[in-house]
Amino acid sequence: MFTVLTPDQAWSKLEPHLSAIDQTEAIPTVEALGRVLADDIAAPADLPHFPRSAMDGYAVRAGDTHGASESQPAFLKVVGEVLMGRPAAVSLSPGEAALIHTGGMLAGGSDAVVMVENTRTADASSIEVYRPVARGENVIQVGEDMARGEALLSRGSLIRPQDIGALLSLGVTRVTVYHRVRVALIPTGDELVPPGDSPGPGQIRNTNAYALAGLAAQAGAIPLPLDIVRDSYEALREAVQKAMAQADLVVVSAGSSVSTRDVTASAIGSLGRPGVLVHGVATRPGKPTIIAVIGGKPVFGLPGNPASAMITFDLFVTPSIHLLSGCRPLPARRYIRARLTRNIPSAPGREDFVPVKIEERNGELHAEPVFGKSNLMFALIRADGVARVPIDRGGLSAGEFVAVRMF
């Protein structure tokens, strides 16, 4: 009933349904790291708001230095010093200079700064200037860094350390940001027990909900790991419905067998429109991925295998969190480029992800595949990331460069 889609096709089906959740809050700028701006912000003032020296030296009238040279220096009378954090106490008349420090406010009458390296003390109250300066030289003019009204940061920006600095420099001490996205994580399976319990024969501990919670937190979301749900249509349906009431996005860590995957898809699909959009993606691992949208909220059914769950989460859930968080444009996926140490077999028409260890040799990064039985827990523990085999390639050869997504 469903055809397997390429990862791009699957994303194209989901993306039109994803937009910023419409809850925002005003918070102190100093606490806004990693949050997403909900407003465009224009500079409320000029930066700097006074002409600042970019150098240690002397504030001068540029005209007084014209023609100055080693052999014919300009002589200027030093009439004072500009103290940091204060307007200059002096105003310059022709032939005068004032000592100034980097960041100091230009003295009245001055229009340039001579670097101290291009001067020499002539006597107790005057200097020789060996190089002419142009008007405005070594000066940061009012509004030169940022002019009042200029666009500073736009809605959808993910706030970085330098953005906090820039906002504060203009006195923007509070910002309106989108709420963090709440991600519900539902572990399913008759074989699961909580991590603190001792599993009996045939049982394993629930771990996916917590590993995926880590990925959700790294994407800026609030993870909500929920209780284990048994493999039944009714139990799953009820759990997803409850999760949708408290979260913006729901991830079901589905069982690994075909029958539980089918139950997962029909339980999710029964909850509303448009329902299941994707059931099967041409990746390895990750083929049984289910992507649905119910009443505007994305719901994912991810494979139960730990590596598959993490790789498909990174492919589809992470960018969904970014879009729900209001990030626009979608942050680019960043890959490390490394040289493969061994062949990776694959099949065209399928995107493969292979855990690799990254090693630096002679200044070049190398990617060493971590082989082993299909995506056991420890492949990802031993690995630094996963190498991507493009969908149009039937594998990659040793020595080729490969794109590695760091985990």
Interaction of residue 392 with a copy of itself, rule CB under 8 A: no
Q: Site for a copy of itself (CB under 8 A): how many residues?
A: 91
Strand 119-123: give its sheet, edge to edge: 112-115, 57-60, 96-100, 74-81, 126-129, 119-123
Contact partners, residue 307, CB within 8 Å, separation at least 6? 285, 355, 375, 376, 377, 379, 380
Contact partners, residue 12, CB within 8 Å, separation at least 6? none
* Contact window for a copy of itself (CB under 8 A) among 67-75, 155-163, 176-184, 277-285: 155-163
Cis peptide before 51 (omega within 30 of 0): no
Interaction of residue 376 with a copy of itself, rule CB under 8 A: yes
Interaction of residue 215 with a copy of itself, rule CB under 8 A: yes
Q: Which of residues 167-196 bind a copy of itself (CB under 8 A)?
A: 168-171, 173, 189-192, 195-196
Using CB under 8 A as the criterion, what x/- string covers residues 115-154 for binding a copy of itself? -x-----------------------x---xxx-----xx-
Minimum CB distance to a copy of itself, residue 140 (Å): 6
Q: Which of residues 51-110 bind a copy of itself (CB under 8 A)?
A: 54, 56, 82-88, 101-105
Q: How far apart are CA 206 and CA 396, in angstroms?
A: 34
Cross-strand bridge partners of residue 367:
340, 358
Using CB under 8 A as the criterion, what x/- string covers residues 325-344 for binding a copy of itself? -------x-x-xx-------
Q: Which of residues 275-304 bind a copy of itself (CB under 8 A)?
A: 304
Minimum CB distance to a copy of itself, residue 201 (Å): 4
Interaction of residue 33 with a copy of itself, rule CB under 8 A: yes
Minimum CB distance to a copy of itself, residue 86 (Å): 5
Helix, strand or coil, per DSSP, at residue 290: strand
241/256 with CB nearer a copy of itself: 256
Phi-psi region of 246 (alpha: psi -120 to 50; beta: other; left: phi over 0): alpha
241/266 with CB nearer a copy of itself: 266
Cross-strand bridge partners of residue 98:
59
Q: How far apart are CA 81 and CA 74, in angstroms?
A: 19
Q: How far apart are CA 231 and CA 49, in angstroms?
A: 65
Interaction of residue 158 with a copy of itself, rule CB under 8 A: no
132/189 with CB nearer a copy of itself: 189
Q: How far apart are CA 385 and CA 353, in angstroms?
A: 9
Out of 201, 245, 273, 362, name the contact with a copy of itself by CB under 8 A: 201
